Structure formats: C-alpha cells, structure tokens
Amino acid sequence: MPLSVCEPFGWYLVATCKHCGVRQPIHRDPSQGKAALLRSYTWRCVECGHVSIYGPHEIERYQHVVERRKAPRE
C-alpha cells in the first residue's frame, strides 16, 4: 500500500525497501507511536517484489498528515 492511500492522521509502521528504496507502510500502529518495537517483519515490496526482513531499528513510525488546501477546489 503506498503512503498516499493511508488513512488521514493514522499511525503506521513504515519500511524502506532495501532493494529499490521505496517507503511503504507495512502495518497500522495501534499504539499511535508510543509502544516500543520489539519484533521483526518480513515484507515484500509492492514496487519491486523484493522480500526482506526488517528489524525494529529499520522500521520508522509515520503519522499520515493531510495538509489543507489554500484555495477551494474549482
């Protein structure tokens, strides 16, 4: 799932593909960025298909923030 389809203001665990460098959410973060990450995740990149294991030190927390438009849609 690309970052652009994340739920507004939702928290996610994000991995950066070790092969192509694409950032992608791998799991919702029910702790909203507060709990310690203790496990590793095996993940297949949605862009290039590379499968790798991501440890807690390779996972980042991400809150999907949506910016308001300065001008209304026409």
* pLDDT the model gives residue 6: 74
pLDDT values of the chain reduced to their tens digit, one per residue, 74 residues: 666 677 778 899 999 999 999 999 988 898 988 988 899 999 999 899 999 999 999 999 988 877 666 666 66
Q: What angle do CA 44, 48, 49 make, to 5 degrees?
A: 35
Residue 9: partners with Cβ closer than 8 Å, 6 or more residues away: 63, 64, 65, 66
> Residue 15 and residue 42: Cα distance in Å, rounded?
10
* pLDDT the model gives residue 20: 95
CA 53 distance to own-chain centroid: 15
* pLDDT the model gives residue 73: 61
* pLDDT the model gives residue 74: 67
